[in-house]
């Protein structure tokens, strides 16, 4: 991370020049190698002045040295989310050197766990995803791990399926999901006892240590490679398609649907699933249908971002659509919107999550089965009400599907960031394609009754209570302010949020309710509203998740208004609290 106002000492310049030269020598990518060579040329020799380059120096030489610092002062950390970062040269960027070190380190980890391990590797349409995937396959095979590469760019859920379907020991998906267009990433799954879920501790630290040994002990040009890896057949994709299509349990009814994959890889697989399920094709947002890692119509290909669905809404207005559905670029997330008298209403993840959870509970009741409804700690507690009503298990997990997918007896899981696990026997990760099919099932049933998903929301409120969610986030210019604020909230906890008293406080710092130690505070307000406070894992922010509930007498409209008012008041109070810290 760049250090604001830092003087670039001569010693630092010498160190940066050495590191950049060594990196460029082993870089097989002419683009990133040229990037470093150009920066080195512009930077020139280290400044003979021992005082170094002052922070107010804006010369081209100083800018070049800062560019080297930003690329080499730190390294993209490998963790439970794998790797994710901006494309570019150096250890603080995503590139072929970093991926090669990661692939070989992961291979060493797998080889230490058992004999003749196997891995399946997938990739999406982002820039260099195919290159990083082939590098991984060659390095895995060269290290002695039996590698299988998926046949073409495919959604992340297909890779998650492949780990289970092929009985692989591990999986890698090269994707940055819904991150900014210049990013790419490396998502890691484990088979066997992990069931095809994403990695959790301590595996992340063990893999990171193995990667570190490679990075410090070898040049990537010295790592053995082999082109003898396998290419999976299309029959693997066909098995995913068939299994997903089988999850549609409704009746086909007329419904005007608009769909966008947001320049990602979702459409080809989703189309095949629709065909297998006997469902009609939607109207496509043609400017966003073909995979394109440049994302020409989007700055930030995340369906939660303001404006991301504008082209889909415009297409919906043109064809008078009943429903808009969107996948993020690797099709593991799903956004849903319907038209109203006041414009398009995009459902939040909590709203769709509780409706799909109710669908899952109804299916279990109809088949006489049991299971667990699971969601992350910061998502709405509405699933608990559904689970209680149907006599099902309920689990709250740490954030992320690496945890949700591991809930014992899971039948359905979701998190508020538009991720849904509808068919856990097929995959143990969020799956936007099977979730889209489930939403179509609900929407078609409702359309046949001349109702919409908003009507189902009202029915949910009448039966289980009205739930309302809000998010508040406060950005900090100095990263060190975040632990100071969290410490202050612990040392002097607020007696009220807004005008409502805090009735209970839970601190997850030492672990609580089966949740590992986490930097999370949970406040329960006197009116039943829940307030979760935690630092963001990816940005210099503190995030607050607010969930209010209203039950008892009253119409769904009255209950919803009561819950919305409580959530809004808590959001205003939380915002004021953080701004005063």
What pairing do the DSSP bridges indicate for beta strands 146-149 and 118-123? parallel
Q: Is residue 174 within 8 Å of residue 186, measured between CB atoms?
A: yes
- Locate 93 and state its tokens: 């960027």
What is the crossing angle of helices 30-43 and 10-26, to 10°? Answer: 150
For 78, residues 6+ apart whose C-beta sits below 8 A from its C-beta are: 102, 204, 207, 208, 211
Please identify which of the residues 177, 197, 379, 556 carries the catalytic annotation: 177
Largest CA distance in the chain: 79
How far is the C-alpha of 361 from the C-alpha of 553, rounded, in Å? 24
CA dihedral 203, 207, 208, 210 (to 10 degrees): 140
| Neighbouring-strand partners of residue 469 | 547
Q: What are phi and psi of 283, to 5 degrees?
A: -75, 130
- Locate 323 and state its tokens: 């429903």
| Neighbouring-strand partners of residue 5 | none
* Nearest alpha carbon to residue 255 among 434, 454, 446, 438: 446
* Nearest alpha carbon to residue 392 among 413, 369, 376: 369
Q: Is residue 433 within 8 Å of residue 155, measured between CB atoms?
A: yes
SS3 string, 18-52, reads: HHHHHHHHHCCCHHHHHHHHHHHHHHCCCCCCCCC
What is the crossing angle of helices 266-277 and 432-448, to 10°? Answer: 50
What pairing do the DSSP bridges indicate for beta strands 500-507 and 521-525? antiparallel
CA 553 vs CA 338, 469, 559: distances in Å: 28, 21, 8
Q: What are phi and psi of 511, to 5 degrees?
A: 90, 145
CA 419 vs CA 175, 304, 404, 413, 452: distances in Å: 16, 12, 11, 8, 21
Q: Is residue 84 within 8 Å of residue 185, measured between CB atoms?
A: yes
Q: CA 187 from chain center: how many Å?
A: 10
H-helix segments, 424-476: 432-448, 453-464
Burial (CB count <10 Å: 0-12, 13-18, 19+), residue 240: buried
Other residues' Cβ atoms within 10 Å of the Cβ of residue 391: 10
Other residues' Cβ atoms within 10 Å of the Cβ of residue 517: 11
For 31, residues 6+ apart whose C-beta sits below 8 A from its C-beta are: none
379 is catalytic: no
Burial (CB count <10 Å: 0-12, 13-18, 19+), residue 252: middle
How far is the C-alpha of 323 from the C-alpha of 439, rounded, in Å? 10
Q: Which residue has the tokens 């106002």?
A: 5
Catalytic residue numbers read 177
């Amino acid at each position: 991370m760049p250090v604001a106002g830092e003087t670039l000492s001569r010693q630092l310049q010498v160190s940066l020049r050495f590191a950049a030269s060594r990196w460029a020598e082993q870089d097989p990518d002419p683009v990133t190698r040229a990037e470093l060579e150009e920066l080195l040329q512009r930077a020139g020799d280290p400044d003979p002045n021992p005082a170094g380059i002052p922070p107010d120096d804006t010369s081209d030489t100083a800018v070049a040295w800062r560019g080297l610092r930003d690329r080499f002062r730190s390294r993209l950390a490998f963790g439970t989310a794998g790797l994710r970062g901006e494309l570019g040269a150096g250890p603080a960027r995503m590139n072929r050197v970093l991926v090669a070190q990661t692939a070989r380190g992961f291979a060493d980890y797998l080889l230490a766990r058992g004999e003749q391990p196997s891995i399946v590797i997938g990739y999406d349409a982002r820039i260099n995803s195919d290159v990083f995937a082939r590098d991984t396959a060659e390095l895995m095979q060269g290290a002695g791990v039996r590698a299988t590469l998926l046949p073409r760019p495919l959604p992340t859920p297909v890779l998650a399926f492949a780990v289970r379907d092929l009985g692989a020991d591990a999986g890698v998906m090269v994707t940055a999901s819904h991150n900014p267009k210049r990013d790419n990433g490396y998502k890691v799954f484990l088979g066997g006892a992990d069931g095809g879920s994403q990695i959790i501790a301590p595996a992340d630290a063990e893999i990171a240590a193995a990667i570190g040994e490679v990075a410090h002990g070898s040049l990537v040009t010295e790592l053995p490679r082999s082109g003898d890896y396998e290419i999976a057949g299309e029959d693997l994709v066909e098995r995913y398609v068939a299994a997903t299509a089988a999850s549609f349990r409704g009746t086909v009814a007329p419904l005007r649907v608009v769909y966008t994959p947001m320049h990602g890889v979702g459409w080809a697989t989703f189309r095949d699933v629709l065909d297998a399920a006997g469902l009609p094709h939607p109207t496509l947002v043609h400017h966003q249908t073909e995979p394109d890692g440049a994302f020409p119509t989007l700055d930030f290909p995340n369906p939660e971002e303001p404006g991301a669905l504008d082209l889909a809404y415009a297409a919906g207005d043109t064809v008078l659509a009943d429903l808009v559905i969107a996948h993020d670029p690797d099709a593991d997330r799903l956004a849903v919107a319907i038209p109203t008298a006041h414009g398009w209403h995009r459902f939040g993840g909590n709203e769709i999550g509780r409706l799909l959870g109710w669908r899952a509970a109804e299916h279990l009741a109809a088949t006489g089965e049991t299971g667990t409804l699971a969601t992350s700690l910061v998502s709405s507690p509405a699933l608990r009400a559904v689970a209680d009503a149907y006599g099902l298990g309920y689990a709250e997990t740490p954030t992320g599907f690496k945890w949700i997918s591991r809930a014992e007896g899971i039948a359905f899981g979701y998190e508020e960031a538009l991720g849904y696990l509808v068919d856990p026997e097929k995959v143990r990760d969020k799956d936007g394609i099977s979730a889209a099919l489930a939403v179509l099932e609900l929407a078609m049933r409702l359309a046949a009754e001349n109702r919409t998903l908003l009507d189902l929301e009202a029915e949910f409120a009448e039966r289980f209570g009205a739930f309302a969610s809000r998010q508040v986030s406060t950005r900090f210019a100095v990263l060190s302010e975040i632990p100071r604020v969290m410490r202050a909230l612990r040392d002097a906890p607020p007696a009220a949020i807004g005008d409502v008293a805090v009735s209970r406080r839970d601190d997850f710092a030492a672990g609580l309710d089966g949740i590992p130690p986490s930097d999370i505070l949970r406040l329960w307000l006197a009116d039943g509203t829940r307030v979760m406070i935690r630092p963001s894992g990816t940005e210099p922010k503190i995030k607050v998740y607010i969930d209010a509930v209203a039950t008892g007498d009253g119409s769904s409209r009255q209950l919803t208004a009561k819950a919305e008012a409580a959530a809004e008041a808590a959001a205003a109070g939380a915002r004021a609290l953080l701004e005063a810290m």
